Structure 1
């Protein structure tokens, strides 16, 4: 059984801010942070809106589940579609 569903706010921040600077950024030159640093940034920036303790494994798994396995988090669909479109270019 999985954890709480990510909120729209979490998803937006993850896909629009974290992923573009993560090891999975579309452009290799933008891959400036590892997943550990990304988790720290997300925890800090989500502040009181954080619904969980973000970890490097959690962020990687969230990315992997949405992009590699085809599973889509309910609030992430539009962001995943956009990210995959960018990856295709």
Structure 2
């Protein structure tokens, strides 16, 4: 999170209005709801996990055991089961 001085980006009148509510504190102004990114879209984590899970399901259908998948993908048995038994 980047910090920006209010004096550098906000009009004086708006700063004075905000100061009626908060003085000398750090104020966080969140992004508007439409500007939020979904989890994993920026880092690529979501697509990585989707591809990994498809690979795990494919390997399981090809006859690789859950214990082997656990070792190959460095995941717990419970996680492998969640992946292979969900649609």
Q: Would you call these one fold, judging by a TM-score over 0.5?
A: no
The structure with the largest helix share of the pair is 1
The interval holding the TM-score normalised by the smaller chain is 0.3 to 0.5
TM-score by length of 2: 0.40
Q: Tell which structure's C-alpha radius of gyration is larger.
A: 2
TM-score by length of 1: 0.40
